[in-house]
Amino acid sequence: RWRKQSLKLPEFVPTPAEIKKVRRWVMIEAHAFILLPLCAVMMARGIGIH
């Protein structure tokens, strides 16, 4: 979305609220990505299965 706007208007700058919203999602995704290998190891070792 920002890319299209920046191609049309070279002086385009996203609002601080939009930047904050995107930064929040990037941080959530980064933290979730870090947890994926941990979950894979736990599943491989059978942790959590009764």
> Does the predicted TM-score (pTM) go above 0.95?
no
Q: Are 6 and 12 in contact (CB under 8 A)?
A: yes
Residue 28's pLDDT is: 96
Residue 50's pLDDT is: 65
> Which pair of structure tokens corresponds to residue 28?
């959530």
3-state secondary structure of 47: coil
User: Is the per-residue pLDDT at 49 higher than 80?
Assistant: no
Residue 24 lies in a domain: yes
Residues 26, 5: Cα–Cα separation, whole Å: 21
User: Is the per-residue pLDDT at 7 higher than 80?
Assistant: yes
Residue 2 lies in a domain: no
Number of domains in the chain: 1
Residue 20's pLDDT is: 97
Residue 19 lies in a domain: yes
Task: Give mean pLDDT, residues 9-26.
Answer: 94
Residues 42, 49: Cα–Cα separation, whole Å: 10
